[in-house]
Every structure is written in structure tokens, then in C-alpha cells.
Amino acid sequence: MQEKRHFKLFAQRYSGGGSNYIKLFDAVAAQPVYDEEKLRRKLKGEVFLKHLAFEKHHLQQLITRALRLYHSGKNIDLRLKEMLLDAEILHERSLYHHCRKTLQKARKLARVYERFVFIPEITRLESRLFDLQNLEEVYREETDALQKMQVINKYRTLSNKVALLVASAHQVRKRSDLQVFERIMRDPLMRKEDKADTFTARVYYFYIQAVYYEMKGDLKNAYRSRKRFVELIESEPTQLKIHTRNYLSALNNLAISQLELRLFSEAAETVEKIRKVPLHDRKSEDIRVNSFVFSVIIELNIAIRTGMFVSMADRLPSLERAFHELEKKIQPQFCIVILNSIKYVYFGLGEYRQSLKWSNRVMHETDAGVRQDIQAMARIFNLVLHYELGNTELLEYMIRSTYRFLLKSERLYKVETVVLQYLRRAAFYTSPKEINASFGELLGQLEPLSRTRYEKKAFEEFDLLAWLQCKISKKPFATIVKEGANTLKKPQNRLKIK
């Protein structure tokens, strides 16, 4: 709302009253989805409709300029760019004293916020002032900044490689997958923490280290690495304010480790921290959105892993409303995880039709960034849903469809292979007795896989073992999951950190 108000004031000031642009802006903003035909009907009679394409282009430029001005005091990169522009103008006007003061302030900000990329430009402008007494020190600092930039860029490159591997694979299932991570970990920068000589470098260092440990199945060291990083940020309030986004991501990653180690009480505490992160940066929309995304995903997954689906029953309606309001602002890879988690909770509550509604959304998600493991398990989950709903007429077709999908899947490993072989036979089962007997057979084949490093994470998308057990034992699905969580739970729900 504040941004909209700022834009209207800006348009009135810089566009000769700006009434046409404000009318066009309000009309477009009122549409949930842009529709030019409806827009023309709403603005019928307005002269500017004759050259609407031009007006829209100019409106976009106005909005961008207004947003740039609105955020200039809050975004450090914009502030530094403006200060450098100010210094250029002051130098051209021969106001050298003011130019020097501006550059000194810019240098201090660039150092505090570790925006080393600006230091060479600051140095270039300072050299034009012919301050020979401090020139040697200035050049020394420029060299140091360039070295730090180089180190940060190397860490960023390693981090991007890891992020790409995670996005495409999510977990290691083959030795060859792990070897790619091991090559990254052999890089000289990853040997010791002190190689990361800036806070920004440490952000990348801990991210890479924790992901590597998680991928190789060393969950305790992944947890320790993530906990260490969170403690590091929390111990430096200035850096927490500067790196609020990194702090939010660090908390999310820590909560994921806590879930994997079944430290559910700690995970719940971390969720509360995640919800409070926007207090450190009240004006950042992406932090508000990601705080919602991360807290909801962890909260839903605590219920999923403990079998306490009923704890989410009252929360789901408000959670769904909030999700629908923010959905367009949420990145696709997070959207699919939320959809997946909501369908799972409804399944645990026995509300199969609601679960099917959300499951269909997962199935129809075609974004290129959607993980293959989610799509593969979504189809198996859909089969289970239709079985629970008694849609026997659809099952034969769906079994064949799922079989074809798994057959073509690029990540066809043991879990999928076992299910694939089962589906090939399942098409011929007709009586309830045959089907129940086949469940026991499938359970016997899958149980050993759930204990292997490279396969056990496949069951996190849907606990197929728990469902098979509930069909065989005639117990509710939630009861089986809860019993499993209690069996695995340690006497103390904490991990000792050395």
C-alpha cells in the first residue's frame, strides 16, 4: 500500500499531474490477472486508449523510477550507486571537499556491508582528487577488496554448483552423485573455516558444508554446521541486520536438519524464530513471503513426521487462505512443496477428497524446476488416494499411466523400480484378498530399502511403508505414523553438541 501511494505522488509530481497514468495504474492494479479487453471496456472513452501500448510502456518506466526512489534509502547497493553518482557531480562542480566526504562515507558503507565491488570505483574517483598523502593506503585497500571479491566469487561459484545439484537431485542415491560433491569439498577454500575471511564468504562456506554432509547421509554433522552458522549470525547483531535473508535461510536449513534428526521440539522453536525474522526488516516483501513459506513447510512437516495430523486440522483453512494470497509471490520450487505437504496432511486426517484436490495440483505442476522425485512419488500417492476413495474403475487406467511415467523417469532407482514391477503385476489383481496379499509382498520388498542411505529419503515424500502397514494391520494411517515416530524417538529430544 505504501508503494502504491508513493507511486501516485511520484506520478503527479513528475508527469504533469499524472492523471492518465494513475487511472491506468488503478485499472490494471484492480485486475487479479491482466486482461487488456476488460481494461479497454473499463476505460472506455479515455483518449489515451488510442495509444495504449505507449502509455503502458511509459507507466512501467514511471513505476520503476518511483520504486527506485522509494527503495533508495533501504537498499545498500542503490545507496552506494547514488553516492558514487553524487560524488561524480560534486567533482564536476569543483566541490572537492564535499566529493571527498561523500566518497569516505561510501567507502565506510562498502566495508561494513562487504560490498567490495564498489571499492575500485570509489578508489578511481578518489584518485582524481590527487590526495597524494593517502594514495598508497587507498590502493592497498583496493587490492585487499579485489582479493576479497575474488574469494567471495569463488565461494559463490561453488555454492551455485551445489545449489544446481540440489535442485536437480534433492538427494544422493548413487555413489557417482556423491563424487560430484566430494570434488567440490576438495577445493582449497573448503578445507578450513578460516579460509572464508569475510562474513559473506562464511555464508557460502557453511551452506556448502552442510549440504555436503546432508547429501552423504551425515545428518549430525549437517546439523552441527547449520547450528554453528545460526549461532554465528545471532552473535553479531549488525550482520544479522545486514544479512537478514541469509539468517532466514540459515534458520530454515537448521529446521530441516532438526526434522531429519527428529528433534521436533527444537524444530518448533526454530519455526517461531522464522516467524519473527520479518521484524528485523519490516519493509522487505520477499522476507515476509519466505518467512511464511519456510515456517508453514516446517510446521506441516512436523505434523507429517509425528503423525499429529489432527494438530493442523484447525490451522489448515487459514493457512490455505494465506497461501492463495501469496502464491504468485512464492517461488515454484517452494509452491510445490507446500502443495505436497497440504495434500499429505489432509490424507493423514482421512479427508481424501480434499487431499485429491491438492494432489491434482501437484500432478499438473509443469514448471521446469519441479523436482523429479516429487513428481514420481506424487503419481504413486495419487494411486493410493483413488484406492482409498474406492475409484476402482479408474485404477486400472491410472496404474498403466503411472507405470509409463516411472518407466520414462530419468531417476529410476530401486524404490521406483520395485513399485514399477509391482504395478506391472497389480493390473491383474481383482479380488480384495489378492490385493491385500500383494501389499504384504510389496512391504517386504520396500522395508530393506528404507534402511539404505541412498533410498530412504524417497519415503519422505510419502510414507508408503506406513500406508501398507495400515492396510495390513487395519489401523489408521495416522496411528501407524505416530507409532513409528515414538519408536524412533530418543529419550531426550536433543542432540548433544560437542
Rg value, the chain, Cα: 28
pLDDT at 200 over 60: yes
Question: Looking up cell 486482461, which residue turns up?
Answer: 35
CATH code for the domain in which residue 271 is found: 1.25.40.10
Would you give the end-to-end CA distance of the chain in angstroms?
49
Q: How confident is the model at residue 289 (pLDDT cuts 50, 70, 90)?
A: very high
When pLDDT is averaged across residues 382-386 and rounded to a whole number, the result is 87
Of 478 and 61, the one with more pLDDT: 478
Question: What's the distance, CA 29 to chain centroid?
Answer: 27
Residues 172 and 284 in one domain: yes
**Which of 244, 344, 250, 342 has the alpha carbon at shortest distance from 296?**
342
pLDDT at 187 over 90: yes
| pLDDT value, residue 399 | 80
Residues 67 and 176 in one domain: no
User: Other C-beta atoms within 10 Å of 364: how many?
Assistant: 8
Give the pLDDT confidence of 271-281 residue by residue, as tens digits: 999 999 987 76
Q: Residue 280: CB partners within 8 Å, gap ≥ 6?
A: 240, 241, 244, 247, 287
Q: How confident is the model at residue 495 (pLDDT cuts 50, 70, 90)?
A: very low
Last residue of a domain, one of 71, 101, 119: 71
| pLDDT value, residue 492 | 39
| pLDDT value, residue 7 | 67
Domain that holds residue 23: 2-71
Last residue of a domain, one of 29, 50, 71: 71
Residues 177 and 53 in one domain: no
Domain count, the chain: 2
When pLDDT is averaged across residues 438-466 and rounded to a whole number, the result is 84
pLDDT at 167 over 80: no
Cell of 118: 564498489
Give the pLDDT confidence of 322-338 residue by residue, as tens digits: 999 999 899 888 998 99
Lowest mean pLDDT: which of 262-266, 480-484, 491-495? 491-495
Whether 22 is in a domain gets the answer yes
| pLDDT value, residue 119 | 92
Of 342 and 236, the one with more pLDDT: 342
Of 445 and 400, the one with more pLDDT: 445
pLDDT at 374 over 80: no
The single-letter code of the amino acid at 208 is I
Whether 160 is in a domain gets the answer no
| pLDDT value, residue 25 | 78
Of 480 and 27, the one with more pLDDT: 480
Of 181 and 300, the one with more pLDDT: 300
pLDDT at 497 over 60: no
Residues 190 and 327 in one domain: yes
Of 374 and 348, the one with more pLDDT: 348
pLDDT at 294 over 50: yes
Question: Looking up cell 587490492, which residue turns up?
Answer: 143
Residues 61 and 186 in one domain: no
Whether 30 is in a domain gets the answer yes
Angle at the Cα of 297 from the Cα atoms of 295 and 300, rounded to 5 degrees = 105
Return the sign of the alpha-carbon dihedral for residues 31, 33, 36, 41: negative
Q: How confident is the model at residue 417 (pLDDT cuts 50, 70, 90)?
A: confident
Give the pLDDT confidence of 238-260 residue by residue, as tens digits: 888 888 888 999 999 999 999 98
Q: Residue 66: CB partners within 8 Å, gap ≥ 6?
A: 3, 6, 7, 10, 11
When pLDDT is averaged across residues 66-75 and rounded to a whole number, the result is 66
Check: CB of residue 208 under 8 Å from CB of residue 243: no
| pLDDT value, residue 471 | 87
Whether 431 is in a domain gets the answer yes
When pLDDT is averaged across residues 27-46 and rounded to a whole number, the result is 80
Of 32 and 17, the one with more pLDDT: 32
Ramachandran area for residue 17 (φ above 0: left; ψ -120 to 50: alpha; else beta): left
Q: DSSP string of 319-383?
A: HHHHHHHHGGGS-HHHHHHHHHHHHHHHHHTT-HHHHHHHHHHHHT---TTS-HHHHHHHHHHHH
Q: How confident is the model at residue 496 (pLDDT cuts 50, 70, 90)?
A: very low
Highest mean pLDDT among 209-213, 271-275, 493-497: 271-275
| pLDDT value, residue 55 | 79
Q: How confident is the model at residue 370 (pLDDT cuts 50, 70, 90)?
A: low
pLDDT at 284 over 60: yes
Please, which contacts does 101-106 make with residues 24 or more away whose CB atoms are closer than 8 Å?
Answer: 103/129, 106/80
Residues 423 and 307 in one domain: yes
Q: DSSP string of 187-236?
A: SGGGS-GGG--SHHHHHHHHHHHHHHHHHTT-HHHHHHHHHHHHHHHHT-
Question: 3-state class of 245 per DSSP?
Answer: helix
When pLDDT is averaged across residues 124-130 and rounded to a whole number, the result is 83
Return mean pLDDT, the chain.
Answer: 83
Question: What's the distance, CA 151 to chain centroid?
Answer: 25
When pLDDT is averaged across residues 181-196 and rounded to a whole number, the result is 90
User: Other C-beta atoms within 10 Å of 159: how many?
Assistant: 17
Highest mean pLDDT among 229-233, 360-364, 401-405, 449-453: 229-233
Cell of 162: 551445489
Whether 142 is in a domain gets the answer no
Whether 77 is in a domain gets the answer no
Whether 349 is in a domain gets the answer yes
pLDDT at 360 over 50: yes
HSE toward the beta carbon, residue 248, CA cutoff 13 A: 23
When pLDDT is averaged across residues 421-450 and rounded to a whole number, the result is 81
Q: Residue 200: CB partners within 8 Å, gap ≥ 6?
A: 114, 152, 155, 243
Residues 56 and 181 in one domain: no
Check: CB of residue 177 under 8 Å from CB of residue 212: no
Check: CB of residue 71 under 8 Å from CB of residue 56: no
Residues 359 and 248 in one domain: yes
As to burial, measured by CB atoms within 10 angstroms (0-12 exposed, 13-18 middle, 19+ buried), residue 27 is middle
pLDDT at 118 over 80: yes
What CA–CA distance (Å, rounded) separates 37 from 434? 58
Last residue of a domain, one of 13, 40, 71: 71
Angle at the Cα of 178 from the Cα atoms of 177 and 180, rounded to 5 degrees = 75
When pLDDT is averaged across residues 136-153 and rounded to a whole number, the result is 88
User: Other C-beta atoms within 10 Å of 347: how many?
Assistant: 25
| pLDDT value, residue 267 | 96
Q: How confident is the model at residue 421 (pLDDT cuts 50, 70, 90)?
A: confident
Whether 95 is in a domain gets the answer no
pLDDT at 168 over 80: no
